[in-house]
Homo-oligomer: A and B are copies of this chain.
């Protein structure tokens, strides 16, 4: 069970015109593309890779269905395409390439390939738009959520951002990426079902407002859900609500504060609950939280047990896109692999099939981006083969299991890089062989 596989039409028009163009030109060279982020957002020191499972689902399921092909015949921009493009190429189309990738939860830096695709040029090209959208979105969410989880310093973070995500598809995938990066649960029910994620939730202000008074609303909820209930106590007056709970003899599992000065209110509420014999009732806070607000509350020793974080994770408020690109790095001419390079101003690329090695024992010291053919005697290679001839080599792991590995991966990086105020720039070097190849390629075009 998974998300519906995206339509093959979920792509840019030029992917289809180029596909027709390659067909017409008889150009079917085996080509290698790499997907990477050119530069980290200013507010990031690292990225956490995510979305590979959905990317491989897409590649395995990519088909042009008859309805779509019939419609494509009517698209003016494709009017010049050869008839066999519609009659033969599209109906038979499958992705048959090889894919190397970073595992989900791996820590990634600028210029390091997240994914490397080798396939006949038509296949390798047409998947560009979808791979970028799938991988960079989840990677940006996981990277943000990882920071929020770090800031919480062991207190629980739960993801509440579905309503502020970029539509319901994004909401579901954001929940997945957030849990991969260490959120303990999500409120998104669909994501809970599809990805086997722990679900959590409280109540809305409207529940409190829908009854004659606040305590009646609380009693009705606890009448059904009992001591598992989390009561939302800021609809009218947070402190008074806490007092009313104690006075009414209610024993909720937790209370939620969603507005006001969360530091001082959490202290006041904690004192009321403790004095009222409710030391085990936990305090969950929410409301426009991000890693900086979470860190400030933690530093202030606010008696908060859990943070509900929404918009800043699901819409990745401070860095809503990554400069992800998918670039041709090698093409085979007459049986000979030819490295390729783009020299556009400010957008140079490195040629050749690459691998990335993480160097250092215990704590990583630096990465080296090299050629696959580099013989590196130490370091952990970060890219492994995940798909061969269009078939994935292993089923996707459960997200909460990958989350465990992701946490370990993050722990291998220096704290100066991974802490939310960390200013340390993690060193990423280019291997001598790759550097030499890049210089040769530039020379060839000058």
List CB contacts (< 8 Å) of A5-61 with chain B.
6-7, 9-18, 20-22, 24-25, 27, 29, 31, 33
Min CB–CB distance A148 → chain B (angstroms): 15
Q: A353 interface residue, CB < 8 Å from B? A: no
Contact A164 B136 (CB under 8 A): yes
Min CB–CB distance A290 → chain B (angstroms): 12
Contact B170 A167 (CB under 8 A): yes
Contact A344 B258 (CB under 8 A): yes
Q: A249 interface residue, CB < 8 Å from B? A: no
State in angstroms the CA–CA spacing of A187 and B173 once bound together: 23
Q: A225 interface residue, CB < 8 Å from B? A: yes
Contact A331 B210 (CB under 8 A): yes
In this complex, the interface size class of chain A, counting residues with CB under 8 Å from chain B, is 35 or more
Contact B10 A209 (CB under 8 A): no
Stretch at the interface among A149-157, A230-238, A381-389, A424-432: A230-238
Contact A14 B204 (CB under 8 A): yes
Stretch at the interface among A73-81, A99-107, A297-305, A404-412: A73-81
Residues of B within 8 A of A327 (CB): 205-206
List CB contacts (< 8 Å) of A321-370 with chain B.
321-322, 324, 326-328, 331, 333, 340-347
State in angstroms the CA–CA spacing of A311 and B317 once bound together: 14
Among the listed B25, B167, B173, B210, which residue makes an inter-chain contact with A134, where contact means beta carbons less than 8 Å apart?
A: B167
Contact B221 A342 (CB under 8 A): no
- Measured CB to CB, the nearest residue on chain B to A169 is B169
Contact A168 B200 (CB under 8 A): no
Min CB–CB distance A79 → chain B (angstroms): 9
Pick the most buried of A27, A82, A317, A342: most chain B CB atoms within 10 A of its CB: A342
Q: A291 interface residue, CB < 8 Å from B? A: no
Residues of B within 8 A of A237 (CB): 343
Contact B4 A133 (CB under 8 A): no
Min CB–CB distance A236 → chain B (angstroms): 5
Give the top 6 A-B pairs by smallest Cβ distance, nearest first.
A169-B169, A13-B201, A320-B320, A14-B201, A166-B166, A260-B345
